[in-house]
């Protein structure tokens, strides 16, 4: 029996675990040697027994061999939510990933990278745009290749927004590759607003293709000034036991970039001009939604008399969000309370598979939080809001 025993469940946030050579392996030759091996490779190659570090190819050969062993396969269905990161089924072996959907009991997974959002953001904010767009192209090749093994795996393709013409061309390229969603940074592009009219061809192509724009945590570089951690105390370990991910203090800053970016896009009329465009905010929490909606209402009250852009909006900020924005919660958040505040049309179920921070029992946590919510509310949370977000990308699955 699958982990989730209910019909019509879609997973709005899942990941591949990219081997350290992944981006370079998918890059064009002219930029390949400029893509440094990411720092997490150092942890993977340490033997832990005082001997010399292992070769990366050796590390992944051993992992692959283990995942094909009788011991691993005999318990695969039962342990699917217990095994995490590179030790999880289908984390980096594409051919194994379809079994994961069956074991969990979901009809699709929206797939993201694990390690590259901050790197893509940083390259986008440096002068060398050939590297920024070339790295994005390599990312998109890797994502679409992985997801090509099963149409239930929905790939996200990254689009830098630094250059108007290159961005429009990259959207067309990503759609041709088979992108199910276009991933953009949650933070501001370099030198111009995400609402700039020069980016309208990006939103127009997404709207016409019937695929969403999505934000994901990690797409802003550092969340807060690192001096916040210079507190005279040891740096606490994160979910993974290391020091490079999220802890309680930087967790508090996660929603600020999408709040600012989305509000700017709403106030400057992007969602007005493209009423069928859908926007997903993924792995950036949901507890911020009620106060953010109230704050936008307050901004309208304070500034609408003086700003023509606000006067040009045909509906309220809340109505744009209800119509066009969908958000994933963390399993530790009170989804029932947030739904009561913002309505049933925004939140989406997700597992964050195979990440540790997604938890081992997310379904039970969400169910407990939803409490006595109606079947209709649950249907929207587990399936319908996701299907509305994804548009044509899931048409064949409905």
180 near 80, Cβ under 8 Å?
no
- Structure confidence at residue 231 (pLDDT): 82
Residue 256, class by beta-carbon neighbours within 10 Å (0-12 exposed, 13-18 middle, 19+ buried)?
Answer: middle
Contact (Cβ atoms closer than 8 angstroms) between residue 387 and residue 10: yes
At 238 the pLDDT is 64
Q: How far is CA 247 from CA 10, 91, 223, 229, 254, in A?
A: 28, 23, 11, 10, 11
Alpha-carbon distance of 139 to 236, in angstroms, equals: 31
Per the CB < 8 A criterion, the answer to whether 148 and 165 are in contact is no
| 22 close to 396: Cβ distance less than 8 angstroms | no
Supply the pLDDT for residue 211. Answer: 97
pLDDT given at position 45: 62
Task: Output 127-133 pairs: Cβ under 8 A, ≥24 positions apart.
Answer: 129/160, 129/162, 129/163, 129/166, 130/30, 130/31, 131/31, 131/34, 132/160, 132/162, 133/160, 133/163, 133/166, 133/170
Between CA 320 and CA 5 the distance in angstroms is: 33
**Is residue 130 packed enough to be buried (19+ CB in 10 Å), middle (13-18) or exposed (0-12)?**
middle
Q: How far apart are the first and last CA of the chain?
A: 22
pLDDT value of residue 294: 98
For residues 201 and 97, what is the distance between their CA atoms, to the nearest angstrom?
34
Q: Can you give the pLDDT at residue 40?
A: 77
- The sheet carrying 153-158 orders its strands as 11-15, 109-112, 153-158, 181-183, 213-216, 279-282, 325-327
Structure tokens at 296: 């936008």
**b or e along 340-372 (b: 16 or more beta carbons within 10 Å of the residue's beta carbon)?**
eebbbbbbbbbbbbbbebbbbebbebbbebbee
Contact (CB, 8 A) for 158 and 140: yes
Q: What is the rounded CA–CA span in Å between residue 159 and residue 139?
A: 10
Q: Which domains does the chain have, with CATH numbers?
A: 112-397 (3.20.20.140)
Q: According to the model, what pLDDT value does residue 245 have? A: 60
pLDDT at 46: 55
Identify the segments of the chain with pLDDT beneath 70. Answer: 45-54, 221, 237-246
């Amino acid at each position: 029996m699958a982990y989730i025993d209910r019909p019509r469940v879609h997973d709005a946030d899942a990941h591949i675990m990219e081997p350290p050579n992944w981006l370079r392996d998918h890059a064009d030759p002219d930029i390949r040697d400029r893509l440094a091996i990411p720092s997490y490779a150092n942890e993977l190659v340490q033997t832990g027994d005082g001997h010399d570090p292992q070769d990366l190819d050796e590390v992944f050969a051993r992992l692959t061999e283990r995942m094909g062993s009788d011991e691993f396969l005999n318990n695969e269905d039962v342990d699917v939510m217990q095994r995490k990161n590179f030790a999880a089924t289908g984390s980096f072996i594409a051919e194994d990933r379809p079994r994961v959907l069956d074991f969990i009991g979901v009809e699709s997974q929206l797939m993201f990278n694990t390690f590259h959002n901050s790197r893509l953001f940083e390259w986008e904010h440096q002068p060398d745009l050939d590297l920024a767009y070339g790295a994005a192209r390599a990312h998109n090749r890797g994502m679409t290749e992985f997801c090509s093994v099963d149409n239930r795996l929905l790939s996200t393709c990254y689009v830098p927004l630094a250059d108007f013409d290159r961005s429009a061309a990259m959207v067309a390229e990503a759609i041709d590759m088979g992108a199910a969603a276009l991933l953009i940074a949650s933070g501001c592009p370099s030198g111009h607003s995400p609402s700039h009219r020069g980016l309208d061809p990006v939103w127009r192509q997404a709207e016409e293709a019937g695929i969403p724009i999505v934000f994901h945590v990690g797409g802003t570089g550092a969340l807060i000034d690192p001096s916040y951690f210079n507190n005279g105390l040891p740096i606490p370990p994160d979910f993974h036991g290391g020091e490079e991910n999220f802890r309680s203090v930087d967790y508090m800053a996660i929603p600020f970039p999408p709040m600012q970016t989305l509000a700017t896009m709403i106030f400057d009329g992007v969602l007005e001009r493209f009423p069928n465009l859908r926007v997903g905010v993924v792995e950036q929490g949901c507890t911020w939604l009620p106060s953010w909606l109230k704050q936008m209402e307050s901004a309208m009250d304070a500034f609408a008399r003086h700003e023509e852009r606000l006067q040009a909006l045909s509906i309220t900020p809340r109505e744009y969000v209800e119509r066009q924005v969908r958000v994933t919660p963390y399993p530790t958040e009170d989804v029932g309370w947030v739904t009561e505040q913002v309505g049933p049309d925004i939140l989406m179920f997700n597992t964050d598979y195979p990440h540790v921070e997604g938890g081992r029992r997310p379904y039970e946590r969400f169910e407990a939080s939803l409490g006595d919510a109606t079947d209709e509310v649950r249907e929207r949370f587990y399936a319908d809001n996701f299907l509305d977000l994804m548009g044509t990308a899931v048409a064949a699955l409905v």
